[in-house]
Amino acid sequence: MVLNEVDNLVEELEKTELEAINGGATAQTYSQLLAVYLYQNDLCNAKYLWKRIPANVKTNNTELQQIWMVGQRMWQRDWPAVHTALNNEWSDDVINIMHALKENVRERAMTLISEAYSSVNLTVLAAMTGLSLEQAKQSAQERGWSLDETTVRPCKMDKEQNTPTQASLTEDQLYKLTQFVSFLEN
């Protein structure tokens, strides 16, 4: 999904919700809006939307409940459970959004892994990204990460060029880090 496309969709869905007769939009509108909020990683708006959806709409729509299950798992940062919840069957109303969300979550997990880990077990990588072991291994290789049978050593990605970079601290960063640690020790 293109960012501009998503912004327009959110605007349209929010307008539809606000203009709904009797203050309650359709389950389709709520499902799409909730899914788009999750796609944008806007968990606060997703949570507030869930709270304002009428109880009868929540109870009578299992797909809406399934989308919210994805949101709950995202909120808890339980990545394996997020991927499990994303593997549900989706209606035509939200299938494209949910597939885009799945790719988005996977890419965020890969970025998180590259920035937070110096090495990670292949099974952990697979669980966090929702990939099989072979797919996780292939994805790591495509990113230029080194790996052996069970361990992956990610390298940070240059965000502008999407190429691996070596992590190094400049003198300024080191000075700021030292100042911060000294402040915490006081």
Domain ranges of the chain: 1-94, 117-186
DSSP classification of residue 146: E
Residue 10: band (very low, low, confident or very high) from pLDDT cuts 50, 70, 90: confident
Nearest to 141 by CA among 110, 105, 169: 110
pLDDT digits (tens, 9 = 90+) for 70-126: 999 999 999 999 999 999 999 999 999 999 999 999 999 999 898 888 889 999 999
Helix axes 43-52, 27-39, angle to 10 degrees: 160
State the CB neighbour count (10 A cutoff) for residue 115. Answer: 11
DSSP classification of residue 54: -
165 vs 117, more confident: 117
Q: Read off the tokens for 41.
A: 């990683």
Is domain 117-186 given the CATH code 3.40.50 in the classification?
no
Predicted local distance difference test score (pLDDT) of residue 157: 61
Give me the residues paired with residue 121 across strands: 151
pTM listed for this prediction: 0.77
Residue recorded with tokens 């499902």 = 31
